[in-house]
């Protein structure tokens, strides 16, 4: 789904106060159900450290690049680390390991990206996935999403927060973007990864106040390479497509057209044919994100450029200190 604009505004006409008021009873029920599930569920201890990379809001915040960083870093240190994800958008319920023949239609887009860094298990039930991963030798589990999932006991909870939108209007879904009440989400977080749109972005004072008392590690997504030369027609079906478009422009991309799609959008042949036609009319080349690229029909991928990004931490030392006991536990276990 595309997040409604009023989620980002606390006051004024743009905040849609009447709509928010009408949705408030549903928000109360959603928040109550989330809190009850977290409080009453007995968490499974897989016997190995579990690092959860989650968020407090609906939509994209940059969780997957953080999870990829963790998988790559732990692998370089000689730790047998495994990724665990629900496989949103895929038909497979699991638990099963992601393999080369799998497509986004099978396991979702995020597992395909994670699997480039380390072995990944997809499982609708995170506890079942953890059991399977450990039975195949995992010494550390990195869970992509799951801050509100109480099925697994977490060793380290990293909450990824979008520095631009923060926590929106502060309301719980559907009146706002929050998956649960904010104090509860922050209380369970060991650290906040504050994802900025660029290195020089100034963080809002209100957001700083909300995160006061927590370990905050600023970060941003940096392109792996320069923006392609020539005219570009950009498209993206991620949590916030404009983040991709704006970043591409900031790094010198000449965007002459852009189309946003819903998060995890399943592209059909007709969609791509239309995009090729629109780009051709403007003498431009198509460009998209890595996450979108793996969802394209295979026969159309050759003509689409990809602009990959990776996470850069402004205080990597603090993150390493948080990871140190996890690494020691894994190596001693």
Task: Return the DSSP state at 56.
Answer: S
Distances (CA, A) of 54 to 259, 302, 317, 318: 27, 33, 21, 18
pLDDT at site 38: 95
Q: What is the pLDDT of residues 168-210, one digit of tens each?
A: 999 999 999 999 999 999 999 999 999 999 999 999 999 999 9
pLDDT at site 1: 60
pLDDT at site 304: 96
Quote the pTM value: 0.93
pLDDT at site 333: 67
Please give the average pLDDT of every successive group of 10 residues along the chain, which has 333 residues: 81 85 95 96 96 91 94 94 92 92 93 96 95 95 94 96 94 95 97 94 94 96 90 94 92 94 92 96 96 92 93 95 90 74
**Buried b / exposed e across 287-302, counting CB within 10 Å, b at 16+?**
bbbbbbbbbbbeebee
pLDDT at site 5: 86
């Amino acid at each position: 789904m595309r997040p409604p604009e009023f989620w980002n505004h606390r006051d004024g006409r743009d905040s849609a106060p009447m709509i928010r008021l009408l949705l408030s009873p549903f928000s109360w029920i959603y928040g109550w159900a989330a809190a009850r599930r977290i409080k009453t569920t007995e968490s499974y201890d897989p016997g190995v450290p579990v690092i959860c990379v989650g968020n407090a809001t609906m939509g994209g915040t940059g969780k997957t690049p953080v999870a990829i960083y963790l998988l790559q870093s732990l692998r370089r240190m000689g730790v047998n680390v495994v990724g665990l994800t629900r496989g949103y958008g895929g038909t497979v319920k699991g638990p099963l390991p992601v393999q080369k023949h799998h497509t986004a239609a099978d396991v979702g887009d995020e597992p395909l990206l994670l699997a480039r860094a380390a072995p990944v298990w997809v499982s609708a039930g995170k506890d079942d996935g953890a059991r399977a991963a450990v039975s195949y030798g995992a010494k550390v589990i990195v869970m992509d999403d799951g801050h509100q999932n109480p099925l697994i006991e977490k060793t380290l909870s990293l909450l990824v927060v979008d520095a631009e939108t923060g926590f929106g209007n502060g309301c719980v879904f559907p009146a706002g973007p929050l998956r649960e009440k904010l104090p509860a989400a922050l209380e369970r977080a060991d650290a906040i990864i504050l994802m900025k749109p660029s290195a020089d972005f100034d963080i809002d004072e209100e957001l700083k106040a909300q995160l006061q008392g927590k370990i905050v590690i600023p970060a941003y997504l940096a392109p792996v390479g320069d923006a392609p030369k020539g005219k570009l027609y950009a498209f993206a079906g991620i949590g916030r497509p404009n983040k991709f478009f704006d970043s591409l422009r900031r790094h010198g991309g000449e965007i002459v057209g852009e189309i946003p799609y819903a998060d995890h959008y399943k592209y059909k042949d007709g969609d791509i044919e239309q995009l090729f036609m629109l780009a051709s009319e403007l003498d431009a080349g198509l460009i998209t994100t890595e996450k979108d690229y793996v969802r394209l029909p295979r026969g159309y991928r050759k003509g689409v450029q990809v602009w990959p990004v990776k996470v850069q931490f402004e205080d990597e030392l603090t993150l390493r200190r948080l990871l140190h006991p996890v690494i020691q536990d894994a190596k001693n276990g």
